[in-house]
Amino acid sequence: MAKIGVFVCQCGNNISRTVDTADVAKDASEQSGVVFVEDYKFMCSAPGQEAFKKAIRDHDLDGCIVSACSPKMHEATFRNAAEAAGLNPFKVEIANIREQCSWVHNDKEIGTAKSKDLTHMMIQRVKYNRPLERYRMSMTKRALILGGGIAGIQAALDLANAGTPVTIVEKEPSLGGNMARLSETFPTLDCSQCILTPKMVEVQNHPLITIRAFAELEKLDGYIGNFKATIRQKAKSVIDKDCTGCGDCWEKCPFTVESEFDMNLIKRKVIYIPFPQAVPTVPVIDRANCPKFIKDKCGICADVCGPDCIDFTQEDEILEEEFGAVIVATGFELMPNVYKEYGGSSMPQHLIPKKMNKKQRAAQPRSTSGRLPDVINGLEFERLASASGPTGGEIRRPSDGKKPKTVVFIACVGSRDANKGVEYCSKICCMYTAKHTMLYNHSVHDGKAYVFYMDIRAGGKGYEEFINRAQDEGAEYIRGRVSALRKKGDKILVKGADTLQGCAVDIEADMVVLATAMVPQADAIDFAKTLGISYDKHGFYSEQHPKLMPVDSSTGGIYLAGACQGVKDVPETVAQASAAASKVMQLFSKEELMREPEVAIVDKDHCMNCWDCVTVCPYLAISPEEVKDRDGNVVKMVANVNPGLCQGCGLCNTVCRSKSIELQGYTDQQVYAQITAFEGAFV
Amino acid sequence: MSKGIIRHDFEPKIMGFVCKWCTYSGADLAGTSRMDYSPHVRMVRLPCSGRIDPQFVIKAFEQGADGVIISGCHPGDCHYNEGNYYARRRNLAFRNLMEFNGIDTKRLEFSWISAAEAIKFTQIIDKFTNQVRELGPNEGYRVLLDPYASRLVKSSEESAA
């Protein structure tokens, strides 16, 4: 026979004003199994909790109902109090008679009747509550950072400086990401390389940071605290540990291809580092373009290499490593120019870049090789303006190397246009276009910059002032869209509209810069599936809560940083990266992980291996397990739940045909008991 | 008293099955915002709308509920990524079964209510309560479910005759 205590809280007069708490308590005392009732002014206060604990001890209660506020408020309070008094915390239930009764129903009779009903339901439920124990799990206190851009670098340094070993996996041969491509950064116009490269060197020299450049994550298994990552270290054809980064190989290499880092504006060698300040300074051989690998000719790099570290026979290496937490910082790319009217390639099926896989993406003609070679995008302009770029910081147009005297900047190309691009605002374009006009004016003193814009969105510290400065320095802002770009001699005729003056504007430009939308990496969705995290319709990774949990992904132990989660500028990216690092530190600050026991368990005797639960589980927490007899023969296969992965949604419980999998804390028995006690009495 | 309670001849009994992340929190918000709504509903808190077994609904009807309300997070907002999609499909299939058995599908309400939609929550509860009130008591449901009960009804009718 159950020994249940019912504690009805008056909550000052928040509950007692519209609910006769004494009557609720008296009514509860008449229920079977109830041996103790109390009606108190503030159950959650210190004396209230003491009375609660005393009742548990004195009456040896094996179940408690607190009829009070929402379980979100004080479930934890009373569960902890019960634990202190020696009762399993999961034998305590809350009947919500404040938020869902006294505060919303003004009639005392009705409120009392509903409170009685809700209390009855909980009394029946608690009889089937099983004592549960929280799971304790060990964890690997190492962090994996995916992506070596500014977000990954910042997170790695924050974590490593706090004493956590970190591994950065970067798919390119060097750290740096998109930020390394930038010439100068808004709103202070400090040189991007000058602020980024010291951080890259710091990463390289940090004893707790391991850099895995030219590597990719193949697979991620496990759960919070205990991830197992399979990393593919692509063959560099250069032995890392022997390479001194002297540069003899890439100087002597006779073959060149277009440089991805320089947005295909110039050529790089086939054995290369992406840019001079690359970290690590170990070159890689681009096997797809190297004649040694295509027709077994050349091999000059091996001849000139002093430390003899060129290895043409090197193979991809598969590494398996364990981590406790993962930070995803895979960044963004710019939407390719897919607009025929802007001189891009006209491929309507490719309007939405996320649908392209890597190969299709590589096969896309770039704007520089399109019909109008002098129509470039923002990152290409950054390279042209950069002191380390193909033109050494002098702005010259790609087609013939002339200094452009008139440059038209077009904002919102692809952004804020659900029909022809993406519907969101790319956020950084207003600012970087203003910066571009300044860089242009600083480089070409007699040049004229025009900006076609829809709205100027400059929310941020010093951002509006920056836009004003750009206008003061000579940029002409025209509010309106551009309908077409046409070739006219060696110039580009820009046919636009000025919607403030209500007239058409034709400008003959030497160069046009498109602020194309920021989109996720082409393989972002496939990568999200590898990680098991959720993403939005554009392919940006979803945070747990848009306001209160902006760095947690939907999966425990995986955190988000930077533009892979949504469009961001550098300061925001750095802030989010530090936030993600602090979340990891918080996780690693404990000795071991504690998990709520509200997870599914399997009745192995009754499981008939239909695997419906395996199909339905959103967390891949259920897997087949062998049941063996004494001699070690496999008798049958049953489902097995990994409590570390299970998040307690209960989908498996609902689909199970034999009802042999149960969500602890929300078992069928508990719910049926609750329904059975339902009377629905109005008064 | 902001809203006078009018007593009707028939007051429906309504059972609610809601997910704890969205609808239950929405109901809590209605409470903290002191919004008046019909007091007929009794809610069962579940982790996810995908945890709602159609048998819970059957059990509730059997227990004398005149209406059942199921509610969870909006599509795409599920705390468990996809649980509410299962709830949605299950609801469609279950509605067919209800119709097949001759139970008015208006007695089952399915809605998405987020944790911020306290107003929507109160509106749906009020609307559904009125709807069920108009339908009247869910008589005959137990008879339909339980062949023994129907036999008992018949035999008592016979003996009375």
Residue A274 reports pLDDT greater than 90: yes
3-class SS of residue A144: strand
Check residue A344 and give its pLDDT. Answer: 74
List of residues 6+ apart from B91 with CB closer than 8 A: B70, B108, B110
Name the one residue in this structure whose structure tokens are 């995986």.
Answer: A558
Check residue B148 and give its pLDDT. Answer: 66
Q: Kindly list the distances between the CA atom of residue A291 and the CA atoms of A120, A251, A267, A584, in Å, as whole numbers in the listed order.
A: 81, 16, 16, 45
HEC readout, A562-620 = HHHCCCCCHHHHHHHHHHHHHHHHHHHCCCCEEECCCCEEECCCCCCCCCHHHHHCCCC
Which residues make beta-bridge pairs with A271? A285
Q: Nearest-CA distance from A323 to chain B in Å?
A: 24
Residue A375 reports pLDDT greater than 50: yes
Check residue A209 and give its pLDDT. Answer: 97
B79 contact residues in A (CB cutoff 8 A): 649
Q: Do A680 and B45 touch (CB under 8 A)?
A: no
Residue A360 reports pLDDT greater than 90: no
Q: Largest Cα–Cα distance in chain B?
A: 59
> What CA–CA distance (Å, rounded) separates B37 from B43?
14
Judged by a CB distance cut-off of 8 A, whether residue A618 touches chain B is yes
Check residue A337 and give its pLDDT. Answer: 81
Instruction: DSSP for B22-42, please give it.
Output: THHHHHHHHHHTT----TTEE
Check residue A269 and give its pLDDT. Answer: 93
Which residue among A118, A651, A672 places its CB closest to the CB of B59? A672
Residue B144's pLDDT band, with cuts at 50, 70 and 90, is low
Judged by a CB distance cut-off of 8 A, whether residue A483 touches chain B is no
Q: Do B39 and A105 touch (CB under 8 A)?
A: yes
B53 contact residues in A (CB cutoff 8 A): 653-654, 668, 671
> What CA–CA distance (Å, rounded) separates A83 from A86?
5
> What CA–CA distance (Å, rounded) separates A479 from A472?
17
Which residue among A98, A105, A554 places its CB closest to the CB of B81? A554
Pair A499, A519: CB distance under 8 Å: no
Q: Do A668 and B53 touch (CB under 8 A)?
A: yes
3-class SS of residue A346: coil
Residue B113 reports pLDDT greater than 50: yes
Pair A326, A220: CB distance under 8 Å: yes
Tens digits of per-residue pLDDT, A570-589?
A: 999 999 999 999 999 999 99
Pair A616, A655: CB distance under 8 Å: yes
A598 contact residues in B (CB cutoff 8 A): 47
Buried b (16+ CB within 10 A) or exposed e, A380-407: bbbbbbbebbbbeeebbbbeeeeebebb
Check residue A683 and give its pLDDT. Answer: 66
Q: Nearest-CA distance from B69 to chain A in Å?
A: 13
Check residue A644 and give its pLDDT. Answer: 79
Radius of gyration of chain A (CA): 32
β pairing state of A209-213 and A215-223: unpaired
> What CA–CA distance (Å, rounded) separates A298 from A281?
23
Q: Kindly list the distances between the CA atom of residue A554 and the CA atoms of A591, A619, B10, in Å, as whole numbers in the listed order.
A: 24, 10, 46
Which residue among A98, A121, A651 places its CB closest to the CB of B42? A121
Distance of CA B6 to the CA centre of its chain: 22
Q: Name which of A595, A653, A559 is nearest A139 in CA terms.
A: A595
Number of A:B CB contacts under 8 A?
131
B81 contact residues in A (CB cutoff 8 A): 534, 554, 618
Which residue among A650, A674, A681 places its CB closest to the CB of B47? A650
Residues of chain A with CATH 3.50.50.60: 136-234+316-331+529-592, 334-520
β pairing state of A92-96 and A34-40: unpaired
Residue A335 reports pLDDT greater than 50: yes
Q: Nearest-CA distance from B160 to chain A in Å?
A: 30
Structure tokens at A643: 């409590």
Return the higher-pLDDT residue of A604 and B8: A604
Q: Nearest-CA distance from B24 to chain A in Å?
A: 9
Q: Name which of B47, B58, B50 is nearest B88 in CA terms.
A: B50
> What CA–CA distance (Å, rounded) separates A667 from A660?
11
Residue type, A522: A
Return the higher-pLDDT residue of A594 and A557: A557
B113 contact residues in A (CB cutoff 8 A): none
Mutate to test the interface with A, among B15, B35, B81 (most CBs of A within 10 A): B81
Region of poorest pLDDT, from A286-290, A338-342, A443-447: A338-342
Pair A416, A454: CB distance under 8 Å: yes
Tens digits of per-residue pLDDT, B29-64?
A: 999 999 999 999 999 999 999 999 999 999 999 888
Through-space distance between the first and last CA atoms of chain A, rounded to whole angstroms: 30
B positions 28-57 inside 8 Å of A (CB)? 28, 30-32, 34-37, 39-40, 42-48, 50-53, 56
Which residue among B1, B31, B80 places its CB closest to the CB of A100? B31
> What CA–CA distance (Å, rounded) separates A117 from A675?
11
Tens digits of per-residue pLDDT, A508-551?
A: 999 999 999 999 998 998 898 888 888 888 899 988 877 888 99
Buried b (16+ CB within 10 A) or exposed e, A9-22: bbbeebbbebbbbe
Check residue A354 and give its pLDDT. Answer: 47
CA torsion, points A672, A673, A676, A677, in degrees to nearest 10? -140
Q: Do B28 and A674 touch (CB under 8 A)?
A: no
Q: Kindly list the distances between the CA atom of residue A116 and the CA atoms of A27, B12, B27, in Å, as whole numbers in the listed order.
A: 7, 17, 19
Percent over 70 (pLDDT), chain A: 96
Residue B157 reports pLDDT greater than 70: no
- The beta strand positions in A336-439, using DSSP E, are 375-377, 406-413
Judged by a CB distance cut-off of 8 A, whether residue A620 touches chain B is no
Residue A298 phi, psi (nearest 5): 80, -130
List of residues 6+ apart from A599 with CB closer than 8 A: A135, A641, A643, A646, A647, A648, A663, A664
List of residues 6+ apart from A286 with CB closer than 8 A: A257, A270, A271, A272
Pair A470, A438: CB distance under 8 Å: yes
> What CA–CA distance (Å, rounded) separates A443 from A53?
77
Mutate to test the interface with A, among B1, B51, B94 (most CBs of A within 10 A): B51
Q: Nearest-CA distance from B20 to chain A in Å?
A: 9
Instruction: DSSP for A491-524, please give it.
Output: EEEEEEEETTTTEEEEEEESEEEEEEPEEE-TTH
Q: Do A651 and B64 touch (CB under 8 A)?
A: no
Judged by a CB distance cut-off of 8 A, whether residue A596 touches chain B is no
Judged by a CB distance cut-off of 8 A, whether residue A598 touches chain B is yes
Residue A346's pLDDT band, with cuts at 50, 70 and 90, is very low
CATH code of the domain occupying A599-663: 3.30.70.20
Structure tokens at A236: 């560099």
Q: Do A680 and B65 touch (CB under 8 A)?
A: yes
Tens digits of per-residue pLDDT, B93-102?
A: 999 999 888 8
Which residues make beta-bridge pairs with A503? A498
A114 contact residues in B (CB cutoff 8 A): 39, 42
Judged by a CB distance cut-off of 8 A, whether residue A597 touches chain B is no
Judged by a CB distance cut-off of 8 A, whether residue B82 touches chain A is yes
Please name the CATH architecture into which domain A334-520 falls: 3-Layer(bba) Sandwich (3.50)
Residue A410 phi, psi (nearest 5): -115, 120
Residue A353 reports pLDDT greater than 50: no
Pair A119, A6: CB distance under 8 Å: yes
Pair A67, A119: CB distance under 8 Å: yes
- State mean pLDDT over A629-657: 91
What mean pLDDT is reported for chain B? 86
Judged by a CB distance cut-off of 8 A, whether residue B15 touches chain A is yes
3-class SS of residue A234: coil
**Any idea where the domains of chain B sit in the sequence?**
14-160
β pairing state of A511-516 and A375-377: parallel
Q: Nearest-CA distance from A17 to chain B in Å?
A: 12
Structure tokens at B133: 């009130």
* CB-count exposure of residue A114 (10 Å: 0-12, 13-18, 19+): buried
Q: Do B42 and A680 touch (CB under 8 A)?
A: yes
Q: Do B44 and A668 touch (CB under 8 A)?
A: no
Q: Do A676 and B63 touch (CB under 8 A)?
A: yes
B47 contact residues in A (CB cutoff 8 A): 598, 648-650, 663, 666
Residue A51 phi, psi (nearest 5): -60, -40
* H helix runs in A92-220, sequence order: 108-126, 150-161, 192-205
Check residue B152 and give its pLDDT. Answer: 57
3-class SS of residue A487: strand
| Helical pair A108-126 and A668-676, crossing angle rounded to 10 deg | 150
Check residue B4 and give its pLDDT. Answer: 55
Pair A536, A516: CB distance under 8 Å: no
> What CA–CA distance (Å, rounded) separates B17 from B60?
10
Judged by a CB distance cut-off of 8 A, whether residue A98 touches chain B is yes
Pair A220, A319: CB distance under 8 Å: no
Which residue among A100, A650, A679 places its CB closest to the CB of B43? A100
CATH code of the domain occupying B14-160: 3.40.50
Pair A519, A334: CB distance under 8 Å: yes
List of residues 6+ apart from A418 with CB closer than 8 A: none
Residue A347's pLDDT band, with cuts at 50, 70 and 90, is very low
Residue B110's pLDDT band, with cuts at 50, 70 and 90, is very high
Judged by a CB distance cut-off of 8 A, whether residue B115 touches chain A is no
Task: Say how many residues make up chain A.
Answer: 683
CATH code of the domain occupying A4-134: 3.40.50
Name the one residue in this structure whose structure tokens are 């009779």.
Answer: A109
List of residues 6+ apart from B80 with CB closer than 8 A: A618, A619, A647, A649, A651, B47, B48, B50
Q: Do B39 and A104 touch (CB under 8 A)?
A: yes
What mean pLDDT is reported for chain A? 91
* CB-count exposure of residue A614 (10 Å: 0-12, 13-18, 19+): middle
Region of poorest pLDDT, from A313-327, A345-359, A575-589: A345-359
Percent over 90 (pLDDT), chain B: 59
Q: Do B46 and A70 touch (CB under 8 A)?
A: no
Tens digits of per-residue pLDDT, A167-224?
A: 999 999 999 999 999 999 999 999 999 999 999 999 999 999 999 999 999 999 888 8
B positions 56-75 inside 8 Å of A (CB)? 56, 59-60, 63-66
A positions 54-93 inside 8 Å of B (CB)? 70-72
Q: Do B50 and A674 touch (CB under 8 A)?
A: no
β pairing state of A634-641 and A622-628: antiparallel
Tally: H helices and E strands in chain A? 18, 36
Tens digits of per-residue pLDDT, A442-478?
A: 999 999 999 999 999 999 999 999 999 999 999 999 9
CATH code of the domain occupying A136-234+316-331+529-592: 3.50.50.60
Region of poorest pLDDT, from A90-104, A400-414, A492-506, A520-534: A520-534
Closest chain A residue to B80, measured at CA: A649
β pairing state of A511-516 and A325-328: unpaired
Tens digits of per-residue pLDDT, A211-254?
A: 999 999 999 988 889 999 999 999 999 998 899 989 999 999 99
Q: Name which of A193, A154, A150 is nearest A175 in CA terms.
A: A150
| Torsion region of A448: left, alpha or beta (phi above 0 gives left; psi -120 to 50 gives alpha) | beta
Pair A284, A253: CB distance under 8 Å: no
A positions 259-298 inside 8 Å of B (CB)? none
Q: Do A666 and B46 touch (CB under 8 A)?
A: yes
Q: Name which of B154, B77, B97, B109 is nearest B12 in CA terms.
A: B109
Structure tokens at A266: 């110039």
Which residue among B39, B65, B86 places its CB closest to the CB of A114? B39
Which residues make beta-bridge pairs with A621? none
Q: Do B47 and A676 touch (CB under 8 A)?
A: no
